[in-house]
Structure 1
Amino acid sequence: MSKTLLLLANGFEAVEASVFTDVLGWNKWEGDGSTEVVTAGLHPQLTCTWNFQVAPEKQLVDLNLEDFDALAIPGGFEEAGFYEDAFSEPFQRVIQHFDANKKPIASICVASIMVAHSGVLKNRRATTYNHPTSKRSSQLKQYGVEVVKERIVTDDNIMTSSNPGTGFDVAFLLLERLTSKENTKNVKELMGF
């Protein structure tokens, strides 16, 4: 059984987190049964971007990162305080641990800014929220990242994406890494994709 850590910062977008719980959850019950998701954050209660309240299963401080095979990170809004947790030392150490161990890191939208802040994306390819009105691509570039204007960019073990609409695609890519193309195709079909 592979375990994925779903890292939740205050101000995260619920829809970006739910794609991981749904895809990996469908696999657990209807696919090959090999995936489990554990939600964790810095606080016992988190507030999503649109004020939805969430209680993560675990506190980050109580986890042994060696127990996990992959990391999934939803993005969020600066206005909702997302970067306060995202740029915190505990979050940065988690990202650095997964990258140092070459375990998959799947991020959606501006979560790539959090990943870049940890230093693991320097001189690597990535994307982030790239709507014409956004300055997030410029922010990502400041971390020494080769910014690629594509929906999803994979550089070795790190997956980044350009907007919330890529969420399911990123979650399915993570499932494929953790299981197989055939199993992922089966789960997608079961879910109506």
Structure 2
Amino acid sequence: MKKVCLLLADGFEAVEASVFTDVIGWNKSLGDGTTQLVTVGLHDQLQCTFNFTVIPELQVSDMNIDEFDALAIPGGFEEAGFYEDAYSEPFLGVIREFERQGKIIASICVGALPVGKSGILVGREGTTYNLGEGRRQKQLAEFGVKVAPDQPIVVDGNIITSYNPSTAFDVAFKLLEMLTTKENCVHVKRLMGFV
């Protein structure tokens, strides 16, 4: 079984988290059956951008990264406190350890910013939220990332980044493809009505 850690910061966007739970869940139930998703956070209860609350299955302090094959990070809103968790050392430490072990890291929208802040994207290509005069993309560049401003999704080795919430399903499907096979991913897309 390939396990995905869905790493949630307070202030995360529920829709960006839900695509990972659905795509990985559909694969577990109706695809090749080889994937499982576990929600992980820094607190007993997390609140998303628009007040939806989630109780993560594990806290960062209790997780064993060796048991996971991939990391998924949804973005969130600054006004909802996203960066307080996402830029914290425990959160960044998880990202660094997944990279040290060469595991897949998939982020959506501003979920790329903690990936950039962790230092693992220095000199590599990536992207993040592209609207609002490119402010978030400039922040990503300040972390030493070669920003591809017009690419909706950027894959650089084991790291997937994307430029806004509209890319969420595509990122989740790319993660599934990298964990399983292209054929299996197409099969799950077909079951979910995407092809």
Which TM-score band applies after superposition, normalised by the shorter structure? over 0.9
CA separation in 2, counterparts of 1:182 and 1:66? 27
Tell me, what secondary structure is at the counterpart of 1:174?
A: helix
Report the Cα offset of residue 60 of structure 1. Answer: 1.0
Cα root mean square deviation, aligned: 0.7
1:100-134 CA deviation, whole Å, 9 max, x = no partner?
11110000000111100000010000000011434
The residue aligned with 2:99 is: 99
Report the Cα offset of residue 76 of structure 1. Answer: 0.3
The residue aligned with 1:148 is: 148
Tell me, what secondary structure is at the counterpart of 2:24?
A: helix
Tell me, what secondary structure is at the counterpart of 2:193?
A: coil
TM-score (norm 2): 0.98
Query: Could you tell me which amino acid in structure 1 is paired with residue 8 of structure 2?
Result: L
1:133-186 CA deviation, whole Å, 9 max, x = no partner?
341011111011100021000110000000001000000000001100010000
Are positions 1:90 and 2:94 aligned together?
no
Tell me, what secondary structure is at the counterpart of 1:110?
A: helix
Are positions 1:23 and 2:23 aligned together?
yes
Query: Could you tell me which amino acid in structure 1 is paired with residue 89 of structure 2?
Result: E
The residue aligned with 1:51 is: 51
Unpaired stretches in structure 1, ≥5 consecutive residues = none
The residue aligned with 2:164 is: 163
Query: Could you tell me which amino acid in structure 2 is paired with residue 164 of structure 1?
Result: P
Structure 1 ranges of 4+ moved more than 4 A: none
Tell me, what secondary structure is at the counterpart of 2:5?
A: strand
Query: Could you tell me which amino acid in structure 2 is paired with residue 182 of structure 1?
Result: E
Query: Could you tell me which amino acid in structure 1 is paired with residue 23 of structure 2?
Result: V
Question: Equivalent residues in 2 for 1:100-179 (5 A)?
Answer: 100-149=100-149, 150-179=151-180
Unpaired stretches in structure 2, ≥5 consecutive residues = none
CA separation in 1, counterparts of 2:107 and 2:12? 12
Tell me, what secondary structure is at the counterpart of 2:98?
A: helix
Tell me, what secondary structure is at the counterpart of 1:98?
A: helix
Tell me, what secondary structure is at the counterpart of 2:109?
A: coil
Query: Could you tell me which amino acid in structure 1 is paired with residue 80 of structure 2?
Result: A
The residue aligned with 2:69 is: 69
CA separation in 2, counterparts of 1:56 and 1:133? 34
Are positions 1:78 and 2:78 aligned together?
yes
